[in-house]
Structure 1
Amino acid sequence: MKKVRLDLCGIRGMRILGILCCLYFMLFSFELPKISWTEDNSEEVFVRDKTLLQPLYKDPLHEENEVNNAPIRPSKESFPVMGGPVSYSVEMNQTKELSQFEKSAMEAWTLGLKVWEELGAVMDDETATADRIESCPGSISMKNIELLKSGKVMHLPCGLRVGSSITLVGRPRQAHEEENPKISALNGANSLLVSQFMIELQGLNAVDGEDPPRILHFNPRLKGDWSGKPVIELNTCYRMQWASAQRCDGWRSKEEDETVDGLPKCEKWITDEEGSPKETKSTSWLKNIIWGEKKSVIDWPYPFVENKLFVLTLSAGVEGYHISVDGRHVISFPYRTGFVLEDATGLSVNGDIDVHTVVAASLPTSHSSFSPQRLLDMSDNWKAPPLPEGPVDLFIGILSAGNHFAERMAVRKTWMQSKHIRSSNVVARFFVALNARKEVNIQLKKEADFYGDIIIVPFMDNYELVVLKTVAICEYGVRNLSAKYIMKCDDDNFVRVGAVLKEVKKISHGKDVYIGNLNYYHKPLRVGKWAVTYEEWPEEDYPPYANGPGYIISNQIANFIVNQHYNKTLRLFKMEDVSMGMWVEQFNASTPVHYSHDWKFCQFGCIDDYITAHYQSPRQMFCMWDKLSKGKAQCCNMR
């Protein structure tokens, strides 16, 4: 009996011990939620534990006994990076005022979770996930009051197509004295009279906080141009980078110049003979009748007059845009590489103009932007190779936006076909946040399922929250791949993968490295659109940092960033490249870092023999890949 009793006691003790262990592990997992990674059906995503709420943590670096020289954030609490489609949430301490960054992050996170849950419900319904055709109106009209209420922007849901037209009735305002010293300086000490307005076709705003691309920028300058003459200027702007402008200053394009659908780029509004005085139509006609003079043909005057009503029509042709005023062709602008008519989802009107009415006609009634047949090549050739079991030399995290289907497809078909990536010695993945449009997120999820190269982070995309994606890149490279080096780049960056590996091996020799196009002693902008307040950054200088489009850090630096995040001591700043410079500087305080600057990590575009080239459109990438395949690291400067 005693032996049986002892066995029963032992069994009871083991059960009690087991219960205590379970309670311990439950308590431990509740206090320290962590992001883990998995790979499901070739789609790599973040997953979370069961903890849904986590309070913002105290940052010991903000306490009085600070040991770091980096600037102090105003708040003593910091926002943790968020994981993939389903990750832990946060709970703010309502007794303390949140910084603007924290407010933006919390708002993006809360809305992102809601959108992700809705997306999950849609994807579970097979009938709902079938490819849909978005219905759009064939014509849209807006009067002055409606346009003002919409922020002077007419939304074109499905963009334009060949044959679409937009008619605007407006009146240029009287010239006013320009207070901008850069313009006023053209007229010496006196102020300069200015009258100009802008009509723009804009693309979908991919990321909140980033300017939408200007697919067409039409800028009549009645007064105030540097030339002192009335001119019209047209241009495009991609990723906030302006291309070369087309200026029309009153002289008709030459016969040998390129035409657009058979029409000249610029019409004439002065005499053909340079230096001839401007004549009226009646005077010219009389001279032709009486004297038989035909050497000088007088066209119409400049098409816009202050306080005079005009009717402007913008039409989309086969080769470009055509603009006529009061029934007369004035100017044509060829389509620029990288832009398509379907991308023109908004018409913006600004400047010295009073708009009466805007009418858009012959618009496409269905949206093709999210059709796999249009942008995505659903071929197994472009699927990501499976993740290797062992460590890799380099992990490339590519920042992208939800609706950048064309950019991601261009990267897949060009430099992601590098032998280094196909052999799994190098791994590349896109990091994408959620879009405000449901159809974009549905297509994004399908794209991720098929190609297996997208990491979805579950917050609404915001330009100021890119830093959270950067932390996620570091975590993926360290925890999931054990990569020796981690590279961050953008989806409009063309990367010579082989050149990157050579650069790393040439410099590293086992050292911790920070490689890129480095900036030293840069100061925050305190005024303007990109202003940084003293609350956000109290010091006068930024730490040394590499330009955001492309840089490389070693594994130990990335691991330091991830550990700081897990220890809840990682400080965040809205400019992700400056944040990386701050983190590297902190790591460098205890462990030496080799800083390496190279102009070939090109920030402003492309230079021959580049390592990376920024602001490259999909067509430019295909052109560069074709040249690189022939052994030539050359640019394709087209736009």
Structure 2
Amino acid sequence: MRKSPSRWEVAPWSRLRIIRVMLGVVGLCLIAMTLEAPNLFQPRAQLKAVGASTQQELREEIPAKPRRALIDGAKEDLSSTRSPQHHGSSSSGPSSSSKNHPQEEQGLPKPRPVEGGEEERSSPPPASSATALLHAARAARVAGAKMWQLVESNFAASPAAAKQHSSNLTTLASSPPRKNSQCPQVVIVSGDELRGTANVAVIPCGLASGSSVTLVARPLKAHPENSPHIRMLPDGQSDVMVSQFMVELRGLKLVNGEDPPRILHVNPRLRGDWSGNPVIEMNTCYRGQWGAALRCEGWLSPDEEAVDGLPRCENWLREEEGSSSKGSSSNAATRIPGKNANTWLNTWIPEPEKGGLDWRYPFAEERLFVLTIRAGWEGYHVSVDGRHITSFPYRTGFILEEATGFAIGGDVEVRSVVATGLPSSHSVVSSDLPLEESEQYKAPPLPGGSVHLFIGILSASNHFAERMAVRKTWMQSTSIRSSLVVARFFVALHSDLEINLQVREEAEYFGDMVMLPFIDHYDLVVLKTVAICEYAIRNVSAKNVMKTDDDTFVRVETIANLLKNTKKAPGLYMGNINQFHRPLREGKWAVTYEEWPEEEYPPYANGPGYVISSDIAEFILQQQNNHTLRLFKMEDVSMGMWVVQFNLAQAVHYVHNLKFCQWGCVEDYYTAHYQSPRQMLCMWDKLQKGDAQCCNMR
């Protein structure tokens, strides 16, 4: 009798059917891959060019030769330049480097043959994006033309009078400090007085080591927020309860159009943080760029991270710990209760330490507190109600003497602010470096032939101190003084005539500035990069072109030698190269889909310092003349996009190196970003002694 199959067995015909189905699925996948194969070789960020008609309009709005609108203080001619300025740096990306191999060739896009024509390689971006850029260029050009006419008429009519406009900036660097009467050693401001000054207490001469600022205040009760900034709304909820406030040490010597530097930002979050727990977050911010935050969440920091011997974060009782703390007492085994306390098992379990952690998060809603920030030797120390809470190490570029404001904001009621131990005079070396009319800082004449490297420096019209710091430091490099390397500032016009007259006089005297006939605008930074390429090719015949910013310290000799030792190949693109970066769609630096429809940026080098070879610069000018150069407001991303387009026809030699530092300064740097004028002087002094070291100033 034949045995019937078990219900767990599979009949042979069913097994065959399964195999057939699987083969069919594999076949469909192969067909789909075949159809999609051409797309596999497309760059990750599709290249789209501005349409000819729109680009033609843009060129018409930016005249090629605006009479004397484009000038160099050395009377050099720049034919057909278009651009304005500002710092267009983007965040750095995750890339690896090696000490033994500081430069690496990346596996980035390879060249592929051009198929069809320009129409097949690129397509116009959304009309709204090109229109917005066109409107910005038109407004900048119209306002710039009027402003330049005023500048030239005032300057030509009476150069002596024009020079008088800048006399308040032309002083000796060794000017004496302010009198003691202007630098009080104690500042006391009541809550009522603060409300009349937008909750900002002025500290005229900043802080010094040993200074302290004390705040007496009361956190307000939590309130609902439907769009909180410190956490996401939970699913199904329309709001979340939030109670937070911030105190900041700020630099109040503002440059028009820029946020004040946040030298120290302390943000207690009683309720509403994304973690669900009360935390204290500390950070710094310079020109809109936040550093890495220090978050204190109730855990004790490691001893090796101590600041002046104090932990960066103290521990406190967390909500989930109840009456136990994180530490030896909370981790100890539970002792057996009972009448016989000396039971044999209890002898193996240690006694809880007496005097263990018995205090919670230092702030509570509607409870008065006293917060003190003290400036130590290595960093700031924050205490609440007399107990040390957190310490924050000093960061590069943020100087105690520049902390001239103490700001309070958020859900808090201020009673008073008291600052003590203040300096009796200003520091002799101020970050507001005055202009010095010295022959030493004038630009040397342009060489008759080509140069190995041209450095274009983006600068805002009112960044007088930054430009003077560059002139006194790395622009004194041997290669620049001997004209083997040429460096120029690229400066657009300001909306203030007085500032423009000062800039005009500065350019006339130092001979190292290229003035552009536009009112400065962040969205038009990319046009300045085009101007740098054009000047480098048409005025100095540079073999390599470097773009940097006026707050970046450049090791000129090191980069020049690096270029000489780099494998001779066309299409050089050198810098701190990012890959697979995505646009930010929210926040202050948001990029809309109309501005950038792709999901990723092309590979690009960070804006504070990168180098391209002359053939890439010539390609950019050719594309601009052909009206096929796509323009995007972030200049470093634009350069990466143009290089990818160049790579379609000719190989690109990508050289990545983390020593082109985007965020501050690293050991043995090539470029160091976000450097104050005072730090520039310090770094130059160290470099002259043979040490390429950062200056973490206090």
Normalising by the residue count of structure 1, what TM-score does the alignment of the two structures yield?
0.65
Instruction: Give the corresponding residue for 1:93.
Output: none
Is the CA contact (8 Å cut-off) linking 2:163 and 2:502 kept in structure 1?
Answer: no
1:309-333: CA deviations, max 9, x gaps? 6788989999998999999999998
Please say if residues 546 and 611 of structure 2, whose CA atoms lie closer than 8 Å, have aligned partners that are also in contact: yes
Of residues 602, 605, 608, the one that matches 1:546 is 605
Aligned to 1:34: 65
* Aligned partner of 2:591 among 528, 532, 535: 532
Query: Is the 8 Å Cα contact of residues 298 and 361 (structure 2) preserved in structure 1?
Result: no
Residue equivalent to 1:198: 246
Output the CA distance in 2 between the equivalents of 1:153 and 1:180: 22
Cα contact 1:370–1:439 (8 A) shared by 2: no
3-state SS of paired residue (2:127): coil
How many pairs does the alignment contain?
A: 549
Alignment of 1:333-348 (within 5 A): 338-339=397-398
Q: 1:589 to 1:205 in 2, by over 3 A?
A: farther
Deviation at 1:202, TM superposition (A): 3.7
8 Å contact kept, 1:542–1:578: yes
How many angstroms does 1:307 deviate by? 2.9
SS of the residue corresponding to residue 601 of structure 1 reads: coil
Q: Tell me if structure 1 keeps the 8 A contact 2:61–2:138.
A: no
Flag the 1:107–1:223 CA change in 2: closer, same or farther, 3 A: same
Partner of 1:131: 168
2:399 touches 2:697 (CA, 8 Å); kept in 1? Answer: no
Distance 1:264 1:445, change over 3 A: farther
1: CA distance, partners of 2:76 / 2:414: 50
2:284 corresponds to: 236
For residues 3-42 of structure 1, what are the structure 2 equivalents within 5 Å?
33-34=64-65, 42=74
- For residues 97-246 of structure 1, what are the structure 2 equivalents within 5 Å? 98-99=131-132, 101-117=133-149, 119=151, 121=154, 124-125=161-162, 130-131=167-168, 171-175=218-222, 194-203=242-251, 206=255, 208=257, 211-223=259-271, 234-239=282-287, 240-242=289-291, 245=294
User: What's the offset of the Cα at 1:44?
Assistant: 5.9
- Shift of residue 410, structure 1, vs aligned partner: 3.1
2:497 paired with 1:497: no
Structure 1: stretches of 5+ with no match in the other structure: 1-28, 50-63, 79-97, 278-294
In 1: Cα distance, 2:652 partner to 2:256 partner: 33
Distance verdict in 2 for CA 1:346–1:47, change over 3 Å: farther
The answer (yes or no) to whether the contact 2:493–2:519 under 8 Å persists in 1 is: yes
Cα gap change, 1:459/1:177 in structure 2, threshold over 3 Å: closer, same or farther?
same
Identify unmatched segments of 5+ residues in structure 2. 1-59, 82-115, 172-181, 318-326, 331-353
SS at match of 2:451: coil
Distance 1:556 1:161, change over 3 A: same
1:470 Cα offset (Å): 0.6
1:69 and 2:121 equivalent? yes
Structure-to-structure mapping, 1:117-516, within 5 angstroms? 117=149, 119=151, 121=154, 124-125=161-162, 130-131=167-168, 171-175=218-222, 194-203=242-251, 206=255, 208=257, 211-223=259-271, 234-239=282-287, 240-242=289-291, 245=294, 304-308=363-367, 338-339=397-398, 349-353=408-412, 374-435=433-494, 440-507=499-566, 509=568, 511-516=570-575
User: 2: distance between equivalents of 1:601 and 1:128?
Assistant: 37
- Provide the secondary structure at the position in 2 that maps to 1:550: strand
1:517 maps to 2:548: no
1:16-53 CA-partner distances (Å, limit 9, x unpaired): xxxxxxxxxxxxx999843688866547686889xxxx
* Candidates 623, 635, 649, aligned match of 1:564: 623
Residue 575 of structure 1 aligns with which residue? 634
Return the alpha-carbon distance in structure 2 between the equivalents of residues 522 and 509 of structure 1: 29
Provide the rounded CA distance (Å) in 1 between the counterparts of 2:215 and 2:448: 61
CA contact (8 A) 1:43 1:453 kept: no
**Which whole-Å deviations, capped at 9, do the CAs of 1:120-166 have from their partners, x for residues lacking one?**
53874565554289xx9x99999999979x9x675979885889999
**Distance 1:335-1:117 versus aligned 2 partners, 3 A rule:** farther
Identity %: 54
The CA deviation at 1:394 is 0.7
Aligned residue identity for 2:222: A
Please give the per-residue CA displacement for 1:396-421, whole angstroms capped at 9, x wherever unaligned.
01122234334333322332222211
Q: Which amino acid aligns with 2:603?
A: P
Contact 1:207 1:462 in 2 (8 A): no
Matched letter for residue 126 of structure 2: P
Offset, 1:573: 0.4
On the 8 A contact 1:250/1:302 being kept in 2, the answer is no
Structure 2 CA distance for partners of 1:181 and 1:529, relative to 1, 3 Å:
closer
Cα 1:410–1:230 shift into 2, 3 Å: same
Over 3 Å counting, the alpha-carbon distance change for 1:429 and 1:247 in structure 2 is farther
Larger strand percent: 1
Provide the C-alpha distance between the structure 2 equivalents of 1:43 and 1:168, rounded to a whole number of angstroms.
55
Q: Which structure is higher in RCO with an 8 Å CA cutoff and minimum separation 6?
A: 2
Query: Residue 583 of structure 1: CA displacement?
Result: 1.7
Amino acid at match of 1:236: T
Give how far 1:380 is off.
Answer: 2.3
How far does residue 249 in structure 1 lie from its aligned partner after superposition?
A: 7.5
CA distance in 2, matches of 1:195, 1:579: 41
Deviation at 1:538, TM superposition (A): 1.9
Over aligned residues, Cα RMSD in angstroms? Answer: 5.7
Could you tell me how far apart the structure 2 residues matched to 1:564 and 1:159 are? 52
Whole-angstrom distance in 2 between the partners of 1:374 and 1:181: 37
The answer to whether the Cα contact below 8 Å between 1:474 and 1:558 also exists between their aligned partners in 2 is yes
Quickly say closer, same or farther: Cα 1:467–1:461, change in 2 above 3 A.
Answer: same
Kindly state the Cα deviation for residue 379 of structure 1 after the two structures are TM-superposed: 2.8
> Deviations for 1:258-305, whole angstroms, at most 9, x for unmatched residues?
889xx99999999xxx9999xxxxxxxxxxxxxxxxx99x99998754
Query: In the alignment, is residue 614 of structure 1 matched against residue 673 of structure 2?
Result: yes
Q: Does the CA contact (< 8 Å) of 1:259 and 1:265 recur in 2?
A: no
Secondary structure of 2:645 counterpart: helix
- Output the CA distance in 1 between the equivalents of 2:378 and 2:581: 43
Within 2, Cα distance between the matches of 1:161 and 1:638? 13
Deviation at 1:636, TM superposition (A): 4.3
Note the C-alpha offset of 1:579: 0.9
SS in structure 1 of the partner of residue 586 of structure 2 = coil
**SS of residue in 1 equivalent to 2:447:** coil
Q: Whole-Å Cα distance in 2 between the matches of residues 30 and 129 of structure 1?
A: 31
- Aligned residues of 2:369 and 2:385 also touching (Cα < 8 A): yes
The Cα offsets for residues 106-125 of structure 1, whole Å up to 9 and x where unpaired, read as: 44444444554555538745
Amino acid in the other structure paired with 2:119: V
1:57 corresponds in structure 2 to none
Deviation per CA, 1:181-220: give whole Å up to 9, x if none: 986899xx9x996532113344456474x65421232323
Instruction: Give secondary structure in 1 for the equivalent of 2:546.
Output: strand
Per-residue CA deviations over 1:318-373 (Å, capped at 9, x if unaligned) read 99989999999999989766345785577654433356999999x99xx9999999
The answer (yes or no) to whether the contact 1:433–1:457 under 8 Å persists in 2 is yes
